Chains A and B, each alone.
Chain A
Amino acid sequence: MTDLQEVSVDELKHLVSERAVKGETMLLNMGPQHPSTHGVLRLLLELDGEIVVNCIPDVGYLHTGVEKNMEAKTYQKAEVMSDRLDYMNPPGNNLAYSMAVEKLVGLDVPPRAQAIRVILAELTRFQSHLVWLGTAALDLAAMSVFLYCFREREYILDIMEMCSGQRMMTTYIRPGGVWRDVPVEFEAAVRQILKTFPRRVDEYEALLTRNPLWLDRTLGIGKLSAEDALNLGVTGPLLRASGVKWDLRKDQPYSGYEQYDFVVPTHPEGDVYARYLVRMEEMRQSLRIVEQALNRMPYGPVRSNNYKFVPPPRSEIGVSMEALIHHFKLWTEGFEAPKGAIYSAVESPRGELGVYLESDGSAKPYRVHWRTPSYDNLQSMPLMCKGVLVADLIAIIGSVDIVLGDIDR
């Protein structure tokens, strides 16, 4: 197991140009461990001096076997694994999975739970874009942006911890609603965020948007045209920065997004700077959505009361026999979903996050497939990297915003 695999040039001959086989260009391995590969991504570069002739991504270094492992667990227990796929967006993964189970089984979600889900999903989008900005800026040597972004992120993680007890892998959004109602301090904390964060986003823009160094490094680099992007299955900010206006929150709305008023930013150029502008604007729009959701949050239950699929509240277990029996059956055997197959998608910070769930009538899912956005977004890398310098390659990797947990599942 600890022997390295030897891959010779013969096996890759069809991917690199003939100049590599003759020895004119150099094959360089930008290995799984590298400060700027944003996870364990391996890139095989064919270099002609400093210019990249070909770029072949090699993934699989974080393959976790989640799809097979979920087939061995009940629907509730499998949700724990879903957090850890796209680890920058755990509530989003939970939301995708919960929506898929609800669609398969036919559960209703009360409106208060939908509002809480929207608030958490948008705060997570903000937090994910903060990490993207911090690491992308760090790669291009703007280290103070990294420290500022992580400072802001701590406030959002405090809110996650307040709701669910865990900073990152919350498993708070569950089929049927959310786990429990938000605590009393939630509203004050979110209002504090809404008051201070717009000015912080202005600070980042002041540091970067008109900065001549940033413009030099990002303007005109890594262009991706709209038809290439669609052909390659690219979704999310990458697609919107190429000019295509497609956002699942507006075009196939879920979880109450149709009630909120927000703008989907697009930019026609398709280069790294356009992606930066799109994501910065998305951060502002996320705050706008959170404000609307918080103002309109209705009172009511936070979980469906269909106790065949959703555990009853702990307070009822002491007084009601049916609640006890439902609780026992759900935690030992799990609920049995009807036979069928569905596909349900949400908009994660990286693109379309979809779950294909197939059930054969038993308590464990028969097949769970995760359509993760970074898998298709990374396929656009070889196209974007033809003829760029190695330093520009780093900027392009940063702008695609891949998360290897998404790709390798």
Chain B
Amino acid sequence: MEEKLASIVQSLEKDYGTQASEQHGEVSLVVPSEKIVAACQQVRELGFELLSTMTAVDYWPQEDPRFHVLYQFTSLSLHLNLRLRVMVPGVNPRLPTITSIYRNANWRERELWDMFGIKFTGHPDLRRILMPVDWEGHPLRKDYPLGYEEPQFTFNFDQINLRKPYAKE
């Protein structure tokens, strides 16, 4: 780990009490979910101007914690990358929003609500972004089926063809 990044990580560890892990040259820090807004504020002040991406991973059938929400930061002035991980339980998943610190979290959090069902308290406009408004379910969860159509071979072609909803005129 570089020295600049090491000093930043040390100050974050001191304030939020977590252990950083390093893998393939990347640093990842686990932050408790109630302190994430303060952590992001401090990360911004330490020189990370760009929130590259915000995403989540679902670890079903493990219920607690089920989701890991990831924040990837890039610093233009220091040429560094940092990742924060937040554990979110599977029952009633919610996190505070960081839209006031980084404005592009707006759509990223909407996407997490749409795809995973993680609610962000304080978000100005939490509605579905990629799926239709009346869609039920959260597609990127592991217990949501892929929804694929069975491939048609010669032995089951006619069965599938009868069930396919072709359009009338």
Contact = CB atoms under 8 A, between A and B. Distances in A.
Contact of B125 (A15, A59, A345): A15
Interface stretch (B4-12, B30-38, B75-83, B149-157): B75-83
Given A60-B132, A371-B72, A354 B53 contact: yes
Contacts of B24: 103-104, 340, 342
B13 interface: no
Interface in B12-54: 23-24, 26, 28, 49-53
Interface in B66-80: 70, 72, 74, 76, 79
B53 A371 contact: yes
B106 to A, nearest CB: 7
Given A72-B146, A231-B103, A371-B72, A343 B81 contact: yes
Interface in A2-43: 5, 7, 11, 14-15
Which of B50, B72, B134 neighbours the largest number of chain A CB atoms within 10 Å of its CB? B50
Given A14-B125, A343-B26, A246 B76 contact: yes
Contacts of B132: 5, 60
A126 interface: no
A343 B72 contact: yes
A235 B26 contact: no
Interface string A62-102: 01010111001000000000000000000000000000000
B1 interface: no
Contacts, number: 91
A11 B106 CA distance: 17
Which of A230, A231, A343, A345 neighbours the largest number of chain B CB atoms within 10 Å of its CB? A343
Interface string A87-123: 0000000000000000110000000000000000000
Given A343-B83, A367-B57, A369-B55, A235 B125 contact: no
Interface string B115-130: 0000000001101111
B52 A354 contact: yes
A252 interface: yes
B139 interface: yes
Nearest to A228: B103
A68 B115 CA distance: 10
B131 interface: yes
Contacts of A60: 128-132
A379 B104 contact: yes
Interface in B92-117: 102-104, 106-107
Interface residues of B, number: 38
Contacts of A341: 23, 28
B103 A252 contact: no
B113 to A, nearest CB: 13
Interface residues of A, number: 43
Contacts of B102: 231, 233
A352 B52 contact: yes
A391 interface: no
Contact of A68 (B26, B28, B81, B146): B146
A46 interface: no
A232 interface: yes
B140 A68 contact: yes
A356 B72 contact: yes
A244 interface: yes
B53 A232 contact: no
A233 B51 contact: yes
B139 A5 contact: no
Contacts of A230: 49-50, 76
A358 interface: yes
B133 interface: yes
Contacts of B28: 341
Contacts of B131: 60, 63
Nearest to A230: B49
A256 B135 CA distance: 45
A90 to B, nearest CB: 21
A146 interface: no
A376 B104 contact: yes
A340 B57 CA distance: 13
A233 B76 CA distance: 12
Given A14-B125, A63-B130, A371-B52, A232 B103 contact: yes
A358 B72 CA distance: 14
B59 to A, nearest CB: 9
A246 B51 CA distance: 14
B23 A340 contact: yes
Contacts of A185: none
Contacts of A231: 102-104
A358 B128 CA distance: 25
A405 B104 CA distance: 19
B103 A67 contact: no
A7 B134 CA distance: 10
5 contacts: A68-B140, A232-B104, A246-B76, A352-B52, A376-B104
Given A340-B23, A356-B72, A375-B107, 12 more contacts: A68-B139, A68-B144, A72-B146, A233-B103, A235-B50, A341-B28, A343-B26, A343-B83, A354-B52, A358-B57, A379-B106, A379-B107
10 closest A-B pairs by CB: A233-B104, A371-B53, A369-B55, A60-B130, A63-B130, A367-B57, A231-B103, A230-B49, A376-B104, A232-B104
